Structure 1
Amino acid sequence: MLTVIENLPDYVFGVKATGEVTEVDLKDVLLPGLAALADKYGEIYYLLLLDTKVENFTPGAWIQDAIAGVKHLTKWKKMAIVTDQKAVENFTDIFSYVTPGEAKGFSIAEINAAITWVSLKS
């Protein structure tokens, strides 16, 4: 399930992933949120609080995630991934070298630092 994280700056879109994350979650929550941000600001500052294992993302969710990434390819500015899964955090840091914008991994204990970082305009 994806839920929108409230109380972020208007130009930052954040979601919390819990339990199973499906294609419907991405179509109903993630894609519209990213589209609204891209339309309004022309750029994307994104925070994902991953409070579930990546194995809980269904194949359809991964496809929709890829679509979101490609659809807004030139608009990505910052992406903060917050998780206690060290492999995901490390992958996010490496991913930053091959994608537009910046990506950085944070532990769940660092959620406030992640919000501060992703909220700083680059």
Structure 2
Amino acid sequence: MEVKFLITEYFNVKVIQTTVKGEITISDRNEIALKTIEKMREEKISKIIWDIREAKFAYSLVGSHEFIVDIKQLGVDNSDYLAVVYFNDKQRHEHSKIVAYNRGIVNLQYFQDIDKAIEWLVSK
């Protein structure tokens, strides 16, 4: 697994872009999420691109469901905005999007186009 953290600016808005490539376990996912949130707090950045277009999940749909349910326990609050960019496992991400919506989590969105993810983030 390969992980990159990049702080960049799009239209004068600072964003942390976390890119994950290769197989990812629940433990890996949680560790990466915690490191990303730590960087957010250190740098006073409230917007994240979680780029998982080249990631392969070594856990079930239930693991993705639980991540959404527990996202606030990881340190994400209502002033943070997360754009998840994916190519694979559309069913998994559609399910996660519905779980987020049903739980009133409106600061988390899923995209298959990184430009649309950036556009959404900078509008917040």
Measured against the shorter chain, the TM-score band is: 0.5 to 0.7
Find the counterpart in structure 1 of residue 51 from structure 2.
49
Which residue in the other structure is 2:21 paired with? Answer: 18
Question: Is 1:94 equivalent to 2:98 in the alignment?
Answer: yes
Once the two structures are TM-superposed, the CA of residue 18 in structure 1 deviates from its matched residue by 0.8
Bigger shift: residues 65-74 or 46-55: 65-74
Shift in alpha-carbon separation, 1:73–1:15, aligned structure 2, 3 A: closer
The structure-2 alpha-carbon separation of the partners of 1:3 and 1:81, relative to structure 1 and needing over 3 Å to count, comes to same
Q: Which amino acid aligns with 1:87?
A: Q
| Percent identity of paired positions between Structure 1 and Structure 2 | 16
Does the 8 Å CA contact 2:16/2:47 hold for their aligned counterparts? yes
Residues matched between the structures, number: 113
| TM-score (norm: length of structure 2) | 0.64
More helix by share: 1
Q: Structure 2: where are the runs of 5+ without partners?
A: 61-65
Residue 78 (str. 1) matches residue 58 (str. 2): no
Q: Which amino acid aligns with 1:86?
A: K
TM-score by length of 1: 0.64
Residue 77 of structure 1 contacts residue 101 of structure 1 at CA under 8 Å; is this kept in 2? Answer: no
Structure 1: segments with no counterpart, 5+ residues: 58-62
Tell me the distance in 2 between the aligned counterparts of 1:54 and 1:91: 15
Contact kept, 8 Å, 1:44 with 1:75, in 2: the verdict is no
How many angstroms does 1:66 deviate by?
Answer: 8.2
**Is the CA contact 1:15–1:49 (under 8 Å) kept in the aligned structure 2?**
yes
Task: Report the structure, 1 or 2, having the larger strand content.
Answer: 2
